[in-house]
Amino acid sequence: MPYAICRVAKIKTAQAGAAKTAHNYRQRETPNADTERKPLNREYINTAERNYWELATERIQEAGAKIRPDSVRGVEVLLTASPEAFKRQADGSPHDWHGSQWAEANIAFLKGKFGEQNVVSCTLHQDELTPHFHAVVVPLTADGRLSAKDVFNPKTLRALQTEYAEAMKPFGMERGVEHSRAKHEVMRHVYGAQERSRGELATLTKPEPATRLSIEGPSGLDLVNLSKWRAEQEARLNAELARQLAAVNERASKAASIAQDSAGAKDREKTLARQLASVEGTKTKEIGRRELFEGGFKRAAVLAVQGETLPAKVLAYGQQIRSSMQAEAEKHVQQALKAPIRQAGDLTEQLKKLPGYTYREDATTKQGELRHTATGSRFELAELKPGGVSMKEAYDQAVQRTAQRDQEQSKGQNRGGGISMD
């Protein structure tokens, strides 16, 4: 059974926040990422791709919490699973997990665990080997204090691991062994350890010819110094015997250590083999489900071409998907409106940046339209209600917020001004 994986890393400085922002939004080269799969990455909350440090600071100020010079303002939470959890398609290519129940469950877990307002960013990466989430959480306590030590400590982290595994149970995942320090290894590392062990053991267990010990006799028999000569020879022999014994013990110790490592490698090999068998079985089931789905899809496509009415189940399913996508689009637009909006063109630029969507305007009516690239769902801006209000009202509010911000910044600059002596 695959393991649910949860890790955390503190964001202690503005420089660290900027670096993590640049990495997660691929604003700089990422050697282990596949550039062709970059379009499959998704940002669910911070769609304007703003700097993490700034987002965290705004949330802290909004909560009225005190910020010390050494305060940890944000914590990056990584959520994923062992590779066998992510089934591939029949042709071997990876799935797009955006919009999946697994993705939605991860987002719901973060918001439920840390509070929706405290999760200021949530990015799904699909351009690396294993799909995973990077979320930025502001460590605010229930009583409104900023304290990473209270929110993230050994006790709460163990609980976090357990709770996350529980949330991932519906997807066939389980928690790792508590307090375990086991490392995740790929199959080639295990095989490499075994081959290395065999070679080293062969060298260490190869018989070594014994060193012949001999007594060096004096050139002339000196009865007066015979006792001295005898003591010197005994000391020399004892020293040589001690050296050879130490060498034998060292070789035996190394051999025992390698044998133990090899046994561990064999155990890991068996575990990986079982996991591989499980993945292959799941893949077979997935192919069967895919073939069933494709059959229904083909039938619906033929009916549509012939002008016949599609089955009620198909229409209901399509409406369900579109409604879900509309709710998601409204959240993205609401987030985009948090960026500085001074005129309609500013909003247009933000909408063009939304990951997973394309934006266009009708040349005649000038009406804007968002299209979800994965499902083809189309929405006119006029039908969207970001934050539960009409698009026009949401836009007007964004313009007012930006004007107030500009005014406050202008006042701050004027207060900080003075007469230059240059």
Q: How confident is the model at residue 408 (pLDDT cuts 50, 70, 90)?
A: confident
Name the helix (H) or strand (E) containing 42: strand 42-43
pLDDT at position 254: 64
Residue 206 DSSP one-character state: S
Instruction: Measure the CA–CA gap between 201 and 290, rounded to whole angstroms.
Output: 49
Q: How confident is the model at residue 191 (pLDDT cuts 50, 70, 90)?
A: very low
One-letter amino acid for residue 90 of the chain: A
| Partners of residue 360 on adjacent β-strands | 369
Instruction: Measure the CA–CA gap between 55 and 43, rounded to whole angstroms.
Output: 14
Among 289, 273, 229, CA closest to 297:
289
Name the helix (H) or strand (E) containing 76: strand 74-81
Instruction: Measure the CA–CA gap between 269 and 44, rounded to whole angstroms.
Output: 38
- 287/418: higher pLDDT: 287
- Please determine, for residue 77, whether its predicted confidence score (pLDDT) is greater than 70: yes
From 185-189, 290-294, 323-327, the region with the lowest mean pLDDT: 185-189
Residue 390, helix vs strand vs coil: coil
Q: How confident is the model at residue 421 (pLDDT cuts 50, 70, 90)?
A: very low
- Please determine, for residue 258, whether its predicted confidence score (pLDDT) is greater than 60: no
Query: Percent of the chain beyond pLDDT 70?
Result: 71
- 24/293: higher pLDDT: 24
Q: How high does pLDDT run on average in the chain? A: 79
Output the DSSP codes for 106-168: HHHHHHHHH-GGGEEEEEEE-SSSS-EEEEEE--B-TTS-B-HHHHSSHHHHHHHHHHHHHHT
- 251/209: higher pLDDT: 251
pLDDT at position 221: 44
pLDDT at position 105: 95
- Please determine, for residue 183, whether its predicted confidence score (pLDDT) is greater than 50: no
Residue 110 has phi, psi (to 5 degrees) of: -60, -50
Among 162, 63, 59, CA closest to 109:
162
pLDDT at position 13: 93
- Please determine, for residue 200, whether its predicted confidence score (pLDDT) is greater than 70: no
pLDDT at position 286: 58
Name the helix (H) or strand (E) containing 360: strand 357-361
CA distances from 181 to 5, 84, 176, 184 (A): 13, 20, 10, 10
Q: How many residues does the chain have?
A: 422
CA dihedral 386, 389, 395, 401 (to 10 degrees): -100
- Please write the tens of the pLDDT for every residue from 88-131: 877 777 889 998 999 999 999 999 999 999 999 999 999 988 89
- Please write the tens of the pLDDT for every residue from 346-377: 998 999 888 888 898 887 877 889 998 878 88
What distance lies between CA 415 and its chain's CA centroid? 44
Instruction: Measure the CA–CA gap between 394 and 348, rounded to whole angstroms.
Output: 14
pLDDT at position 123: 96
Query: Percent of the chain beyond pLDDT 90?
Result: 38
pLDDT at position 178: 57
Q: How confident is the model at residue 420 (pLDDT cuts 50, 70, 90)?
A: very low
- Please determine, for residue 177, whether its predicted confidence score (pLDDT) is greater than 90: no
Instruction: Measure the CA–CA gap between 124 and 78, rounded to whole angstroms.
Output: 10
What six digits make up the tokens of 131?
Answer: 């799909």
Helices 312-336 + 391-415 axis angle, to 10: 20
Residue 4 has phi, psi (to 5 degrees) of: -80, 135
One-letter amino acid for residue 351 of the chain: L
Instruction: Measure the CA–CA gap between 384 and 391, rounded to whole angstroms.
Output: 6
Instruction: Measure the CA–CA gap between 335 and 116, rounded to whole angstroms.
Output: 13
Work out the average pLDDT over 306-323. Answer: 82
The C-alpha angle with vertex 210 and arms to 204 and 211, in degrees rounded to 5, equals 120
Instruction: Measure the CA–CA gap between 128 and 159, rounded to whole angstroms.
Output: 28
What six digits make up the tokens of 365?
Answer: 């009516």
